[in-house]
Each structure stands twice: as C-alpha cells, then as structure tokens.
Chain A
Amino acid sequence: MTTTSALGGAVKRREDPALIRGKGRYTDDIKAVGMLHTAFVRSPIANGVITRLDTSEAAGMDGVHAVYTIDDVRHLGPLLAQVPIGKLRPLLADGVVKHVGEAVAMIVAESPSQARDAADAVVVDYDANPAVIDLKQAASDEIKVHDDLDSNILHTWSYHGYWDALGLESKQPEIEAAKQRDDVVIVSQEMVNQRLVPVAIEPRSVVAEWQDGYQRFTVTSSTQVPHALAGAISKMFGLAANAVHVVAPEVGGGFGAKLNVYADEILVCFASKALERSVKWTEGRREASGSTIQGRGWIATATIVGTRDGEILGYELEGLADMGAYTQNFTVAIPLLGLWVASGQYRFPTHFNIDCVVTNTMTTDAYRGAGRPEAIYYIERIIDMYAREIGLDPLEVRKKNYWQPDEFPATMGCGFALDSGDYGRSADTLMEEAGYAELRATQEKARAEGRLVGIGVSSYVEVCGFGPAVLAEIGFSWTNYGLPASFNGSGLVRVNPDGTATVIIGTGPSGQGHQTTWAQIVSDGLGLPIEQISVRHGDTAESPMGIGTFGSRSLAVDGTATHEATQKVREKAASLAAHLLEASEADIVFADGGAHVAGSPDQRVEWSALAKAAYQAHTAPEGWESGLEAQVTWSPGNATWPFGTHLAMVEVDRDTGDVSILKYVAADDCGNVVNPMIVDGQVHGGIAQGIGQAMFEDAIYDEDGNMLTTSLMDYPIPTAGDLPSFDLTRTTTPSPVNPMGVKGIGEAGTIASAQTLVNAVVDALSPLGVSHLEMPLRPKRVWQAMHDAAQS
C-alpha cells in the first residue's frame, strides 16, 4: 500500500530498515585502503608550561608514520570559532597547556594500538602553574587562565545591552522600585546549573582522505554541521570550496557535541595530506573529557519580586557561566540563547546579567538546549519558591503572569517577539491530562500517611529555528568558516524521469528522522507516494548550502526551504499536466501518484508519465525548460518559539533519599506537526536528558582540574530502569514565521524537565522545611537535605 496523505501522519521511519539490521554505516565503520590510525598525547595537568617535548622515541616505533606537534601545524592557525571572543584553541598545545586532556602531540600509525603505544612513548615535561576551576574564583581574576587576556571574564551578556541597535533600556530601575513597595515579597536564591557531558553513544570519529592526484579532500565525520566542517577545511588549508567534500554518514547522536568543528578533524586532514594516506581518528569515551565540548556550568542568583496575590513585578538573574579554557564554535554565545528566553512565558520586567568566565577546564558549548535550559531552570525554580512563599498554587501563579493570547506577537524585554502562543491553554491542557486536582488530593492523602510525595511543574518557552539573518549583526556569523553569514536552510526537490523524487537537504541529522519527515512534506505537496521519495543529506558535494542540524532548527528552516521548493516543482508540473490533459492549470490536482483535473478524476496523468514528459522537450509545451526540479534557500524572518508546561510527581524514600518518579506528564506546543511519532520521540528523549541533569549527571572537576567523571561508570546517564513512561499531550499553535506553521521540538523536553523534577522533589520535602536542593538529586544529597532539615 502506498502512502500519500502524509502531512501530520505517523509514518514509520524510512531510516530504520538499515539501522535495525545493523547495516547503517557510521564513520568508524569505514575501512579505507591503506588507512592509518591516530592517537593523541594529552596533557595530564590543567595549567602549565611545556618545558620538554621529545617525540624521537615514538617516531621510531613500529608502524609509526608521523608524530606531529604544534610546530608542524602552527601555520594553519588556531581552530575557527563562530563567535571568536576569548582564546581560540591552538590545534595542538603551543608551549602551554590550559586544561587536562588538551592535545599536545598526534601520532599517526598503521594500527590504533601502535598509535597508542607510541603516544605513551612521547616524553613531555611540564612546569605546572596553579589552575583555576572554581567559577567565582576565576571571575575574581585572582589566577588568570591566559596571560595574554585582560581578564578571565570574556564578555557580559545583559538584557538591555547585548545589542545596541535595539536601543533597549535596563529594567532594573523598574524592578528596584517594585522592591521598595511595602506590599511585596522578594525571593532570592543562588543556584548551580551544573556542568554536563553530552554523551552521544557514538563517540566522535573522522576519516580524512587527501586525493593528491585531484588535489582534494574527502572527509567523513560524525558531525552535525558538514557544511561548516567543509568550510573550515577550505579556509584553513586555503582550498577552493569545491576541493573539499565532507560526508556526514549515520551520526550516532549529537546533542550539540557534534556541532563544533574540532581540532582533531583538521589535524586528521593535515596528516592525510602530509602522508597521502587515509587517516582515521575515533575518540575514546574517557578521552572525550578533553576532546569534546561539555555543556551548562552556570552559577547564578535568581530574584523575584511580586505581590502576595501572585502578581510578579520583576525578575533578575545575575551570575557566571563557565566557558572552559578555549573558545570554540558558539562558546561565548551560549548564555545569549538563555538571555532570549530569560523571561520565560511571562510578561514581567526582567534583568539578566551573565558573565562568561574562562577556567582551566574543557571548552563548553551547545549541549541540548544550550543556554535555554539554564535560563528556564532559574526562572522556573524561583517562581516555585515565590509561590510557596505566598502560599499559592505554583501553576496558578504561573498562569497569572503569562503573556495572554491576544498579546502575540509579544515583544519581550530582550527585543525579540514571541511568534505565537497560548500559554494558558497549554497549562490547562496539562492540568486536564494529568488530572491535576486529583493528583494534589492524592498527594495530600500520601502526606497524611507520612509519605514524601511531591508535584512539580514548569512552563517553558524555547527559541529555535535559527535563525533570522539579523543575528549576523550581533556576531553570529558563519563567515568565519568561509560560509554565508546567514543561518540559511536549503532544500532541493527533483522529480526524476521515472517519476520518483530525490530530495536533497542541507541538514545534518543524528537520529531526528529527516528522511521520513521531509518525504512527508514532498509527498503532501506532489501527491507522490512516500515510497517513491528518497531524501538525502549530509553530503556537501550534492546537497545545497545548509548549516546543519542544531537548535531545533531543521524543520522550521530547511523544512520550509523544501516546502517552498516542492511548491515550485508543483507549479511547473501543473503547467505541464494542464498541457497534457488539455485543462486549465488552476484545475490540476496532485493526488494518489498522479495529476488529474478537479472534478474529473479520470482525466489523469500518472507521475511516471508526467516526469518522463518533463524531460522530453519535443513533447512539452513551447518554451518548456526540460527537467523538473527546484532548489530554495530559505532565511527566516524570526526565530520560532515553542512552549509548554510539564509536570512530575515523585516520591522520596525517607530512609535512603532515593527519588522515584511516579508520573511525568508533558504538554508541548511546537506548532503544526508533520510526524507525531517522531515529535513524541524527540520529546521523550529530551525529557530523559533533563531528568538526567536533575537526578544523575554531574561533570565534576577536582581543584587541580582533573575531571573525575570521565567514564560512564562515574558519569551515569539515565538507564531504562531509572525512568518512567511519559504521558504526552499537545496543543497546536501554528507559527506565523513560516508557511508550514512549524516551530521545532528537538530541545523542548530538555528545557522543560530538569526543574520540573527539582520542583517536585522540593515540593515533596517542603513539609520538612527544605526549600532548595542543588542538582543532581542523588540519594545522598536528598538524604542529607532531609537530615539537615531535621537537625535545624
């Protein structure tokens, strides 16, 4: 049976047949002829000077082809970054090391084990200097991370001052005035949003092949941004864009960790060119603590001022965000994403001030949500504390302060306009789905029995669909990678002469099901069965200019491009069908694998015949341009702003501090939905990652800068046994920003869930007098909080 009525349908994934048979091809599966392997010598200290670097023994070992140090690659320059504020990463340590795990030398050898053995034989002596790991200490500039930077504070993002062109004024005077009123309560809390490790289950991997005869690179990499990688290689090696071909094959999870161009990718290219051999590097899991970006790492104080009846008069967030030692792709810009959603779903005046601080740790950058989970965490935790202070239901307090449906598009204090929303309806939908009143009654009953049961809620708004071209004006620009400045999306739709279609898009998915969703868009537009549509991505030699997959942007941007390209193909095909059917173009309907005349289903031409005719000029109408394809590059006018409200019900074990999740309910709104099955899957995974932060995950450094949580034994991500099934519901508020009315859903679950859990656990412990707990809520910490509360 063929599938034609596709938009909004739960079409089974076209990606899956290969993957469930173990026949998907990931980067590390590649075995090229003569392929060499790589290992890195990495720094064991967090801050120091290299006093001796002796590679002679390693260079002479069996199977070793080369040992490279900075002297070999300095001419390529430091690693490129999109927002180059701070210290850019040298490709290999240049006389100094600034974090544990920093690459000092690279070995290229016949086998991975020979490369590793040789890495062990490289002799490096260091003079260690004091490292600064603690954020507050770093912000004091007591110890400088980089001698040649004026301060450890690289940049400050403030709500009114981040973009001069907007001419925004500080809301602080207004908030201060509110604080002076005698009918208000002020609630303030310092909170840590701890550093996390993304942990895609597929380690990063790259294979570079320099084809000397053709003077070009073919590079396969586990990346979310194949075009950016191609651009970076072109720029750093001084090659034309068409001399660099990057392929992102199956990518085993990204979550932002693969949204960087990495030094190892450039170094493997360098080695391949120098040795004229294919060269592969595959990251080790523990090695990743020094080679792949981490996320979050904020400490900030949230303050709310409001009346006793729940009207919030102002909100402030002031704090520090950890950048790590070196700036990579988006590093310093991540808190800006938080700034844009700092006021959440609410209309009250907001003040935001986050300092970007360097420390002697691995670089931070975009990890699922990127700045937005941090920002939403703070506002949603402090609203809960405020609601408790004034004795009102936390959901009612939220509803009282939402932007109202008739206020959209709602221009926030940060200058951006929320595209569309109905926040109250979303919260009501959640309450109905969860049976909120009954849950509260159940909780009361449990409490009466002495059980520690809590209910937590959180609303959120997300900014995604990056992005408006104006972002280039505030420093977001892909030009550093030799690409256009804009965050373009692209789609090429080609109907082949046999009536099948090939769709080529500029995204870089890592499990988001683009081959399915995009086939639905094209199927819907052309009336072509999904089975006849092949969607390709991730290959820069064939796909039009795209930016990749991150920030929940693919559907809103590249999807729109494909939607528009489909419409162009449809219009052209309609003119041909009208000619063949001797009908008016306006009467042509595409459905069920062909075109027919409205009202006369028998007056019909199959796609196979139509496509064939499109390529045969002699049977086409006069002036017909042979072929049937269109490509659109789309640049959106605004970001999109998904939203929702989540709820968790938990029980805490009094004796052990163990937290059980009894119920998790989510109401999300991502605008129109193309494939509800895939959307639900994104929400499930997102929720799990937020719960991971709330309950388990913590990237811990000791005071010397050693990361103590480099393996999955020490850095526990949620297992199936840790999580409940999730109860999902949805409202649909189409976005006016793009013709499909879609928003984005990749990060929503993560942005919503961490504080939902924390709010629930604090609610459970509130009868004991506990008002705040830091994440992760492992049993020991929860038990300690109960114990301390009992003591006081």
Chain B
Amino acid sequence: MQVSMTVNGKAVTADVEPRTLLVHFIRESLSLTGTHVGCETSYCGACTVVVNGRSTKSCTMLAVQADGAEITTIEGLASNGDLHPIQEGFWERHGLQCGYCTPGMIMSAVGLLDENPSPSEDEIRHGLEGNLCRCTGYHNIVKAVEYAAAKMRGEEPAPAEWEVTS
C-alpha cells in the first residue's frame, strides 16, 4: 500500500506492506534510526514520536494509519542545529546514560510540556510513566525536564545539583 506523510518537515511517500508498524517504517524505510525498539508490548516507550502534535508510541500504529500525518522524530527536534530545550536539559542535567530510551523519553517530554508548561515533579514523573529507563533511576530525567520547562517559559533553570565545570 502507498502511504504519504510529512516526517520532520519533509514529504515522504512509500509502498509498505499493510502489516508494517510505523516504527519499522521510520527506522527501515526512512532510515531514521533514532527512534528505537525496546519491547514488543508497547510498554517501554523507546519508539515514541510526535504524530499530529501528540506523543505517540510508534509501535502502536501501523504505517498506513499514519497516512497524511505530520510526524516529528528525535532527528527533527533540533532546529537549524540548535538543540530543543528538552535536548539541552538532558545534556545539562545528565538525563541520559546509555541513551537508548532517550529519544523516546525526550519525545514524550515534548508532549508533556506541550500540555503542561509548568509541571510539578509529581506531574513529570507520572507524565513519563509510559517510558522506561533502566540507567538513570529517573532522578536526572526529572531534573532535565524541569530545566527544559523553565527554559521554555523563559525562566532561569534551577541550578544543577553539582558544581558545573565549564
């Protein structure tokens, strides 16, 4: 079947098997390998992308269901080489270790902050419950999202828990 969609601002059209999941279409057909696969049960969230403005686990959709959609993957988040504040937050606050869950975690945080620009720690924690990280214990992921939320509100982020060496 033929599908057409806009991915990271670029129109794409391709022939896919009807059973192709959106995540496989993104990874295999478009070679955008920043979107990861970590489970088979739509549980880990490593495959999260933004579909028509909503954070979506791309293993829960068929590629054909995304026909006509606007999709942003992790590769499309930075603009003109400038990191998105959430990407910056993850770097500034050590919100990642192995980096495998990170693209999905960041794309979920995009949806979270879109809906709630001033989340409490509790709201961040519950907002990211659909994304699993095995490395960080989430402590610094929460800090990273708090950093980004402050930046996106035009405020100065709270200082890091460590003395920053620049």
Contact = CB atoms under 8 A, between A and B. Distances in A.
Interface of A: 1, 3, 5-6, 9-13, 15-26, 28-29, 31, 199-203, 250-255, 284-286, 510-513, 676-678, 680-681, 684-689, 711-713, 717-721, 723, 725-726, 749
Contact of A21 (B44, B75, B135, B165): B75
B54 interface: no
A250 B101 CA distance: 12
A224 to B, nearest CB: 11
A498 B124 CA distance: 46
Contacts of A725: 121, 139, 142
A20 B88 CA distance: 8
B36 interface: yes
B96 interface: yes
A339 B104 CA distance: 40
Nearest to B17: A113
Contact of A712 (B31, B39, B141, B162): B39
B98 interface: yes
A251 B135 CA distance: 12
Interface of B: 27-28, 31-41, 43-44, 46, 73-75, 77-78, 83, 87, 90-92, 94, 96-103, 106, 121, 124-126, 128-142, 160-166
B97 A685 contact: yes
Contact of B44 (A678, A712, A721): A712
A676 B162 contact: yes
B38 A719 contact: no
A712 B92 contact: no
A685 B34 contact: no
B94 A25 contact: no
Q: Which of B94, B121, B132 has the most CB of A within 10 A?
A: B94
Q: Which of A16, A22, A252, A717 has the most CB of B within 10 A?
A: A22
Contacts of B124: 720
Grouping DSSP codes into helix (H, G, I), strand (E, B) and loop, the A interface class, with mixed when no group exceeds half, is loop
A689 B97 CA distance: 14
Given A285-B41, A511-B135, A711-B40, A24 B126 contact: no
Grouping DSSP codes into helix (H, G, I), strand (E, B) and loop, the B interface class, with mixed when no group exceeds half, is loop
Contacts of B90: 16, 20
19 contacts: A6-B165, A17-B91, A18-B99, A20-B106, A21-B34, A21-B83, A31-B28, A202-B100, A203-B37, A251-B98, A252-B36, A285-B38, A513-B97, A688-B134, A688-B138, A719-B129, A719-B138, A720-B138, A721-B126
B74 A22 contact: yes
B101 A711 contact: no
A721 B125 CA distance: 5
Nearest to B103: A22
A201 B136 contact: no
A201 B40 contact: no
A526 to B, nearest CB: 17
Given A19-B96, A19-B99, A720-B125, A681 B38 contact: no
Contact of A711 (B35, B39, B73): B39
Given A16-B96, A201-B100, A513-B97, 15 more contacts: A12-B164, A15-B99, A20-B87, A20-B106, A28-B33, A203-B38, A254-B98, A286-B40, A510-B98, A678-B94, A680-B162, A712-B39, A712-B43, A713-B41, A719-B130
A17 B101 CA distance: 15
A685 B134 contact: yes
Contact of A252 (B33, B100, B161): B100
The 3 closest A-B pairs by CB, nearest first: A22-B34, A252-B100, A511-B98
Nearest to A2: B166
Nearest to A253: B98
Nearest to B75: A22
B129 to A, nearest CB: 4
Q: Which of A12, A250, A689, A723 has the most CB of B within 10 A?
A: A12
Nearest to B24: A112
Contacts of A711: 39-41, 43
Given A20-B90, A511-B99, A201 B78 contact: no
Contacts of B32: 22
A21 B40 contact: no
Contacts of B137: 684-689, 718, 723, 726, 749
Contacts of A24: 34, 99
Nearest to A719: B129
Nearest to A19: B99
A405 B49 CA distance: 54
B21 to A, nearest CB: 11
Nearest to A510: B98
A684 B34 CA distance: 25
Contacts of B27: 29
Contacts of A286: 40
Nearest to A250: B99
B43 A713 contact: yes
Contact of B100 (A5, A253, A678, A717): A253
Nearest to B76: A22
Given A285-B41, A681-B94, A723 B138 contact: yes
